[in-house]
């Protein structure tokens, strides 16, 4: 059947070519201009730009807040996915649709909405502020905004995995004498962990580059609530394209490293769960 010299997969050469060309056109080409622009700075200048105290403070905030938001989303996203897969309740279709809302909303709109809710005269802020919890115009506000925009990632990656898990497996475990906690830790979690990690990584990467929603809720105070994308915008405001791309390259490098690490971790967990 067919030509013996051909590979097993039909159309492999063509599809690989199209894939590489498409990735190159859509992802690598625009990113390569980052490198070109950055290269216009000398090494000393480049170092000065990417290690200025304000830049360092902003990396710290951007990285920590993104990690925090992704972690919150990993835990609560898992829970929401679980509820959506396993339970029937009135209004479930509505909840299901709500999950995707942060994807669809322009982030500036969500930023303004969150600020309205959490500022000192908003209906959440009014209740929180007497307790000494200041959300809007603080680092906590940044975390809240990044959690909001990252919400769908974990839910939508974990949901299909949980849906695929057969109930029989859990029942078998229970019949063999496993407690509910053991079933969760030994059966459910290993199966869903790789997907959760993927969701975590996606939410994290999304949060790192987020600008629109954060600028409204963070208050943009230098050294305290400035995220790195804001510093990039201030560079652009000075028509300093090279400085802006230098900061962007640092962000890009950091997120590539982290995504790579998460991918490794994912492969390890999958191997341990015996799913390779």
- Positions touching other proteins (CB under 8 A) are 49, 52-54, 112, 115-116, 119-122, 136-137, 215-216, 219-223, 230, 233-240, 243
> In this complex, which beta carbon is closest to other proteins, that of residue 170 or of residue 240?
240
CB of 243 to other proteins, least distance (A): 7
> In this complex, which beta carbon is closest to other proteins, that of residue 142 or of residue 173?
142
CB of 61 to other proteins, least distance (A): 14
Report the candidate in 62, 200, 70, 75 with the shortest Cα–Cα distance to residue 142: 62
| Crossing angle between the packed helical segments 241-272 and 43-50, to the nearest 10 degrees | 70
Contact present, 48 and 54 (Cβ < 8 Å): no
Report the candidate in 137, 157, 17 with the shortest Cα–Cα distance to residue 73: 157
Q: How far apart are CA 152 and CA 101, in angstroms?
A: 8
> In this complex, which beta carbon is closest to other proteins, that of residue 79 or of residue 236?
236
CB of 36 to other proteins, least distance (A): 15
Contact present, 150 and 70 (Cβ < 8 Å): yes
Which residues are within 8 A (CB) of 17 and not within 5 positions of it... i.e. 6 or more apart?
Answer: none
CB of 134 to other proteins, least distance (A): 10
> In this complex, which beta carbon is closest to other proteins, that of residue 146 or of residue 215?
215
Which residues are within 8 A (CB) of 46 and not within 5 positions of it... i.e. 6 or more apart?
Answer: 38, 246
> In this complex, which beta carbon is closest to other proteins, that of residue 61 or of residue 193?
61
> In this complex, which beta carbon is closest to other proteins, that of residue 190 or of residue 212?
212
CB of 230 to other proteins, least distance (A): 7
Q: How far apart are CA 220 and CA 5, in angstroms?
A: 62
200 to each of 153, 167, 193, 233, 262, how far by Cα in Å? 7, 25, 10, 26, 9
CB of 87 to other proteins, least distance (A): 38
Which residues are within 8 A (CB) of 244 and not within 5 positions of it... i.e. 6 or more apart?
Answer: 37, 232, 233, 235, 236
């Amino acid at each position: 059947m067919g030509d013996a010299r051909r590979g097993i997969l039909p159309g492999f050469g063509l599809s690989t070519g199209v894939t590489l060309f498409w990735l190159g056109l859509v992802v690598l080409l625009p990113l390569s201009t980052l490198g070109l622009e950055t290269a216009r700075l000398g090494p000393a200048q480049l170092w000065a730009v990417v290690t200025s105290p304000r830049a360092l403070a902003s990396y710290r905030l951007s990285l920590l807040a993104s990690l925090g938001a992704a972690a919150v989303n990993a835990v609560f996203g898992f829970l929401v996915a679980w509820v959506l897969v396993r339970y029937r309740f009135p209004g479930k279709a509505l909840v299901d649709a709500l999950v995707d809302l942060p994807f669809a909303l322009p982030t500036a709109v969500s930023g303004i909405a969150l600020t309205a809710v959490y500022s000192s005269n908003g209906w959440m802020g009014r209740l929180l502020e007497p307790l000494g919890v200041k959300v809007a115009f603080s680092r906590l506000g940044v975390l809240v905004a990044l959690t909001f925009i990252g919400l769908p990632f974990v839910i939508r990656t974990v949901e299909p995995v949980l849906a695929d898990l057969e109930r029989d497996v859990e029942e078998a475990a229970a019949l063999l004498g496993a407690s509910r906690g053991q079933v969760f830790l030994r059966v459910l979690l290993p199966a869903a962990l790789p997907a959760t990690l993927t969701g975590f990584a996606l939410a994290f990467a999304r949060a790192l580059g987020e600008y629109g929603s954060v600028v409204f809720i963070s208050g943009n105070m230098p050294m305290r609530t400035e995220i790195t994308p804001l510093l990039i915008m201030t560079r652009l405001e000075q028509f300093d394209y090279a400085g802006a791309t230098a900061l962007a390259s640092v962000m890009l490098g950091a997120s590539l490293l982290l995504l790579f690490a998460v991918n490794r971790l994912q492969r390890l967990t999958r191997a341990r769960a015996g799913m390779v």
